[in-house]
Structure 1
Amino acid sequence: MAKKDVIVLNSHGAGQYAYADHMPKWGETLSVKNWYVAEDGGKGTNVAVALGRLGIDTAYIGKVGNDPWGDLGEKWLKEAGADATYMYRTDEVSTGTGLILIGPEGQNTVIDGDSSSIVLKEEEVIQALDNMKGSTFFVTGFEVPMRIALAGAKYAKKLGMLTVLNPSPLPEEPMKKLDYIDYLFINEVEGRYICNEAEDAELEPRRLMEEVQEIYGVGNVIMTLGAEGSTALQGEEFFNIPPVRVEKVVNTAGAGDGFMAAAIANLVWGKTLKEAMEWAGKYAALSVTINGTIPAYRPLDEVNAFIEKYN
């Protein structure tokens, strides 16, 4: 198989949405509105579809069930132009699903079920990577088991790829040194958790990222700040990317996945990290005006037309 611009190792699942006016407390029965199954994938299919629609030569690695949810993931990948050869199928498990609760201001929280990638084997990942030697970027996260994701990243680095990690959902066990990761994408909540900092503690993003960088030995730390934009620590260089304001936020689910995919696409195109993040911020701004994750990842011409309005 030919080398790729980007290989994505992470989970596929089908998203279900419901709208709530507040978050439930333990023991509470919460009434929600408009519960439906949407075009919403796991982090793996989200990123791979976003990259494919931007014209990036992308391959997906993961495992799904022999069921309609697995069929849907394969369909989304192929329609986006992503290679689904290594979307392994199995009767061992069902394809995972998750519930996304949407708040009154468009904010969200995600409740993830078990990923079907819990039965993905390290040797299957290694085989796929061997068959795509010479690829440029390898992207992974923890909707597949952490040991599989990190083993894949280590092997991809050994093969000469640039490695990207979004350690979400954050594991309970320590990740140890991540000096084989070139780009670590986190959000502010994850950064605070990693550094054991209280959510309401006043803390400059730079200091937070310096702590993350020291703990894991990662050269480039990129942190999204929701409506406040994003920021990065590239070696010792620190910079902020201001937010892009849109008239109406419809749904923020998947915006972080889209931001990371868009940033990686720009790195593939030869942009600097700062330029990549500026473009990705505009891409993410467009995505939150559209309901669902898969529909929100628009083709390059539509993204460029949207960006023109903000230049």
Structure 2
Amino acid sequence: MKEKDVIVLNSHGVGQYAFTDHMPKWGETLSVKNWYVAEDGGKGSNVSVALGRLGINTAYIGKVGNDPWGDLGEKWMGGAGVDTTYMYRTDEVSTGTGLILIGPDGQNTVIDGDSSAVALTEREVIDAIEAMKGSKYFVTGFEVPMKLALIGAKHAKSLGMCTALNPSPLPEEAMGELDYIDYLFINEVEGRYICDEIENEEIDSLQLAREVQEKYKVANVVMTLGEKGSMALCGERTWGVEPVKVDKVVNTAGAGDGFMAATIANLVWGKELKEAMEWANKYAALSVQYEGTIPAYRPLSEVNEFIESLK
């Protein structure tokens, strides 16, 4: 198999949506509205589809069931031009699903079910990466078991690939030093949990990024800040990227995955990280205007038209 611009190792699942005016408390029976199955993928299929539609030569590694949800993964990623040779199919597990609760202002909480990636093996991951030696970037996250994601990243790094990690959902066990990760993508809430600063309103995003960088020994920390934009800490250099305001926010569920994919795409195109993040912020601003994650990842021509309209 030929080398790729980007290899993605993460989970595929199918999202279900429900709308609520508040988050439930323990013991509460919550009534929601408009509960439906949407064109919404797991973090692996989200990032893969976004990259594919931007014209990036992308391959996906994961495991899904022999069921309709797995078929949707093949359809969505294949339609975006993603190579799914190493999307392993099995009868051992069912493809995972998740519930996304949407609030009145478009904010969201994601409840992840069991991932079919629990059946993925270390041998399958290594074999897939070996088959694509010479690839440029390796992107992973923790919707596959943390051990597999980190083994994959270490192996990809040993083969000369640039590595990116989104450690979401955050694991209960320690991740250890991540000096083989080139880009650590987190959001501000994740940064607070990592640094045990969830209640400390005085600590700012730069302080959080520095604590994360020191804890995990990563070169580059990229942090999304929701409506405040994003920021990065690269060695000793730091900068912020202003948010892009849009008139109507429909759904933010896939914005983080889209931002990560768009940043990686720009790095593949040879841009510096700051310029890549600026473009990715605009990409994410376009994505939040669509229902579901898969429809939110627009083709490159449409993204460029939107960016031109902002000038």
Give the TM-score of the pair, scaled to structure 2.
Answer: 0.99
What corresponds to 2:69 in structure 1?
Answer: 69
What corresponds to 2:233 in structure 1?
Answer: 233
Quick one: distance in 1 between partners of 2:197 and 2:32?
A: 32
Quick one: distance in 2 between partners of 1:107 and 1:144?
A: 25
Find out whether 1:284 has 2:274 as its counterpart: no
Question: For residues 61-100 of structure 1, what are the structure 2 equivalents within 5 Å?
Answer: 61-100=61-100
- Alpha-carbon offset, residue 200 of structure 1: 4.8
Over the residues paired in the alignment, what is the CA RMSD in angstroms? 0.5
- Structure 2 counterpart of 1:77, one-letter code: M
Find out whether 1:302 has 2:306 as its counterpart: no
Task: Describe the SS at the equivalent of 1:31.
Answer: coil
Quick one: distance in 2 between partners of 1:229 and 1:239?
A: 11
Instruction: After superposition, give the CA deviation of every residue in 1:56-94 in whole Å (9 maximum; x if it has no partner).
Output: 000000000000000000110100000000000000000
Quick one: distance in 2 between partners of 1:244 and 1:186?
A: 19
Quick one: distance in 1 between partners of 2:202 and 2:247?
A: 29
Find out whether 1:11 has 2:11 as its counterpart: yes
What corresponds to 1:254 in structure 2?
Answer: 254
- Alpha-carbon offset, residue 224 of structure 1: 0.1
- Structure 2 counterpart of 1:79, one-letter code: G
Instruction: After superposition, give the CA deviation of every residue in 1:262-298 in whole Å (9 maximum; x if it has no partner).
Output: 0000000000000000000000000001110000000
Task: Describe the SS at the equivalent of 1:14.
Answer: strand
- Structure 2 counterpart of 1:310, one-letter code: L
Task: Describe the SS at the equivalent of 2:163.
Answer: strand
What corresponds to 1:114 in structure 2?
Answer: 114
What corresponds to 2:160 in structure 1?
Answer: 160
What corresponds to 1:138 in structure 2?
Answer: 138
Quick one: distance in 1 between partners of 2:199 and 2:97?
A: 28
Q: Is the 8 A contact 1:189 1:199 kept in 2?
A: no
- Structure 1 counterpart of 2:67, one-letter code: D
- Structure 2 counterpart of 1:211, one-letter code: E
Q: Is the 8 A contact 2:64 2:88 kept in 1?
A: yes
- Structure 2 counterpart of 1:8, one-letter code: V
What corresponds to 2:172 in structure 1?
Answer: 172
- Structure 2 counterpart of 1:46, one-letter code: N
What corresponds to 2:272 in structure 1?
Answer: 272
Q: Which runs of 5+ in 1 are unaligned?
A: none
- Structure 2 counterpart of 1:184, one-letter code: L
Quick one: distance in 2 between partners of 1:99 and 1:263?
A: 26
Give the TM-score of the pair, scaled to structure 1.
Answer: 0.99
Q: Which runs of 5+ in 2 are unaligned?
A: none
Instruction: After superposition, give the CA deviation of every residue in 1:246-271 in whole Å (9 maximum; x if it has no partner).
Output: 00100000100000000000000000
Give the number of equivalent residue pairs: 311
Q: Is the 8 A contact 2:10 2:144 kept in 1?
A: yes
Quick one: distance in 2 between partners of 1:77 and 1:12?
A: 10
Quick one: distance in 1 between partners of 2:185 and 2:290?
A: 23
- Alpha-carbon offset, residue 199 of structure 1: 3.7
Quick one: distance in 2 between partners of 1:86 and 1:69?
A: 17
- Alpha-carbon offset, residue 198 of structure 1: 2.4
What corresponds to 2:49 in structure 1?
Answer: 49
Q: Is the 8 A contact 2:189 2:198 kept in 1?
A: no
Q: Among the aligned pairs, what percent are the same residue?
A: 77
- Structure 1 counterpart of 2:28, one-letter code: E
- Alpha-carbon offset, residue 309 of structure 1: 1.2
